[in-house]
Amino acid sequence: MSRTDTRVWAVTATYNEAENLPELADTILALPEPPRLLIVDDNSPDGTGEIADRLASEHPGHFACLHRPAKMGYASAHLLGIRYALDHGAQEVITLDADLSHDPAVIPTLLEKLQSADVVIGSRYVPGGGTVNWGDDRKLLSRVAGALVRLASGMKVADPTGGFRAYRASILHAAKFRHARQEGYAFLSEMLFRCVRAGAEIAEVPIIFVDRRAGRSKLSKTIIVEAMLHLFTLAGRRLTGWRP
């Protein structure tokens, strides 16, 4: 089996990902130096948590699992996972989705780029990046969301709403990530803005985002509204010179 790089942790939040988690685990294990994957499960009724427990039991050096009592949301799951990873010695933290839309084979590229940056984003919108199985409405929504985040925040990032990322532990601490308050996917732009305002060097590497093949998307109207409202917070912080 490949040697786990214990300095590097990957965090994924799960709710009803029983169809996808085994393949994600296998793909992680196939990496030359796989990160330790931390699965934060929100009491999935489809057995995702039990699969995560089995992985942690069979491969304790490669997987860990945290269980929460109910569906508590994307943002809080990632905050918990990042905090747990850092508290257990992580020097670099990766975040990725459990639905296989983020290809773990890109992780070595993210980590290589992280040697000269503080945050690396797996970007759909730099040359070489793209999306698969998206309709025109989803493409338009993503493009508009990214443009609005850039306008509000002043961040010069092609894909500020992408969730496939690698962070240095030092920038997470400098950004005071524990104080992030946004819910849903607005959490992603808040985290990135905090890192930029803390002085982070941001880099992007191209990825092909493949829409989930199994299970149901967690994107909802509530999440979209939360993200839109967060634009006003970003704009206000930019104008006042806010620092974390």
What per-residue confidence (pLDDT) applies to 188? 95
Other CB atoms within 10 Å distance of the CB of residue 23 = 14
Instruction: Give the pLDDT confidence of 6-33 residue by residue, as tens digits.
Output: 799 999 999 999 999 999 999 999 999 9
Supply the pLDDT for residue 223: 61
Of 163, 139, 156, the closest CA to residue 202 belongs to 156
What are the pLDDT digits (tens) for 128-180? 999 998 989 889 988 999 999 999 999 999 999 999 999 999 999 999 999 99
How do 92-95 and 5-14 pair as beta strands?
parallel
Mean pLDDT of 31-38: 96
Of 235, 222, 240, residue with least CA distance to 74: 222
Contact indicator for 121, 202 with CB cutoff of 8 Å:
yes
Give helix then strand counts, H and E, for the chain.
8, 9
Residue 214 has pLDDT above 80, yes or no: no
Comparing C-alpha atoms, which of 241, 137, 152, 223 is closest to residue 186?
Answer: 223
Asked if 20 and 103 touch (Cβ cutoff 8 Å), the reply is no
HSE-up of 45 (CA within 13 Å, CB side)? 2
**Confidence at residue 44, expressed as pLDDT on a 0 to 100 scale:** 98
- Average pLDDT of the chain is 92
> What gap in Å lies between CA 236 and CA 154, rounded to an integer?
11
Inter-residue contact 96 to 8 (CB < 8 Å): no
CATH topology of domain 5-240: Spore Coat Polysaccharide Biosynthesis Protein SpsA; Chain A (3.90.550)
Q: In what order do the strands lie in the sheet with 63-67?
A: 63-67, 35-41, 5-14, 92-95, 165-168, 119-123, 202-206
Q: What pLDDT band is residue 224 in, cutting at 50, 70 and 90?
A: low
Q: For the residues 22-50, what does the mean pLDDT come to?
A: 97
Phi and psi torsions of 116, nearest 5°: -120, 15
What's CA 49's distance to the chain center, in Å? 19
Evaluate if residue 221 carries a pLDDT over 70: no
Summarised one tens digit per residue, pLDDT across range 101-114 is 999 999 999 999 99
Strands 130-132 and 119-123: unpaired
Residue 92 has pLDDT above 50, yes or no: yes
The pLDDT of residue 230: 86
And the tokens for 189?
């732009």
The pLDDT score that the predictor gives to residue 117 is 98
1 — pLDDT class (breaks 50, 70, 90): very low
